[in-house]
Amino acid sequence: MLCLSFIALSLSAQKKSKETSGNPLFPGWYADPEGAIFGKEYWIYPTYSDKYEAQTYMDAYSSKDLVTWKKHPHVLDTSNVKWAKKAVWAPSITKKGNKYYLFFGANDIQNDNELGGIGVAVSNKPTGPFKDLIGKPLIDKFHNGAQPIDQYVFKDKDGQYYLFYGGWSHCNVVKLSDDFKSIVPFPDGTTYKEVTPKGYVEGPFMFIRNGKYYFMWSEGGWTGPDYSVAYAIADSPLGPFKRIDKILKQDPAIATGAGHHSVIKNPKTGDYYIIYHRRPLGETHGNHRATCIEKMEFDENGLIKPVKITFEGVGANPL
C-alpha cells in the first residue's frame, strides 16, 4: 500500500511539473537573469554563476510557453570581447532595428586604473554569437561613486534609450547614442546623473505601467540571505525615486537570497512575471544561485504586491 501511495505521489508530482515551470527554471548555477520577449518567444539571459575567473561566457534560454526552456550555450564569449577577461555578468539585452544588443559588465574593476567596466556586443540573432561593438568598454570609470556594473538598457516612450547602472550603493543613468557606441549629454549638459534611491545596492531595472515609471533594485548583500528587491514609482525615467517597499525576499522554508531580477509582460494577456535568482536551502557558496520565476501582481493603486517565492513557478502562457 505504501509503495502504491509513493507511486501515486510521484505520478502526481510529474504531472504537476509539466503543468508549471517549476523553480529553478533550468539546471545549473545562473544569476542576474534578464528576461526579454522576441517575437513569439520568451528569453532569459543570465550570468553564469561561478568564481570570477570562470565567468568568461554567457548562455541564454528560450521558451515558447514559460514552462519548457531550451539552452543556447555561449551566446557571448570573451573570445569575441578581447578586453574582457573575467567576471562577465549581469547581461541586459534590447532589439533595435534588425540587430540585438547585449550590454554586460566585465573584469569587476575596483578603480579607474583597471581595464574593464560596461561593454556592449551585437548580433543578428538572439542566439548570438554576440561580438564586441566598439572594441573597448562603453563605461570604464567610476562616476558618482558607482562601480560600472549591473547595467540595464531601457527604451523610453519617445524612443530614447537610457542605461541605468551601478554597484557600490550608487546608481547612475546615462543617455545612449543612436548607435549605442557612446554616451551623449542630457539637455542640461550633464552626462552621468545619479538617481540612487534609499536602500539601493545594485541591480537596477525599470518598466512603464499606466504611464508611470517603476524603478526597481536589489538591496542587501548578494552572498547573504537578506538579498532582496525593492522599488519606487516616478513620473519620469530620471526620478526622483522615493522608495516604496520591498517586494521580493527570502522564504526560509523555500530559498534564501532572492534578488537581482528583471520583469517581463505577456502583451497578449497583460500578465507580469518577475525573473530572479535565489540560493537553494543548504547552499552556502556565494556563487551557488539559481534562476526562478513568479507571477507579479498589482493592487488597485498600482502598487506591486509582495511576491511569494515558490517551488512551482508559473503555468504556461504562450505569446
32 catalytic per annotation: yes
- Active-site option among 34, 132, 150, 202: 202
Three-state SS for the chain is CHHHHHHHHHHHHHHHHHHECCCCCCCCCEEEEEEEEECCEEEEEEEECCCHHHCCEEEEEEECCCCCCEEEEEEEEHHHCCCCCCCCEEEEEEEECCEEEEEEEECCCCCCCCCCEEEEEEECCCCCCEEECCCCCCECCCECCEECCCCEEEECCCCCEEEEECECCCCEEEEECCCCCCEECCCCCCCCEECCCCCCCEEEEEEEECCEEEEEEEECCCCCCCCEEEEEEECCCCCCCCEEEEEECCECCCEEEEEEEEEEECCCCCCEEEEEEEEECCCCCCCCCEEEEEEECECCCCCECCCCCCCCCCECCCC
- Active-site option among 32, 59, 77, 219: 32
245 catalytic per annotation: no
For residues 118 and 192, is the Cβ–Cβ distance under 8 A?
A: no
Is the link from the previous residue into 148 a cis peptide, with omega within 30 of 0? no
Q: Which of 206, 295, 298 is nearest to 21 (CA)?
A: 295
Cα–Cα distance measured from residue 124 to residue 135, given in angstroms and rounded to the nearest whole number:
18
What are the catalytic residues? 32, 202
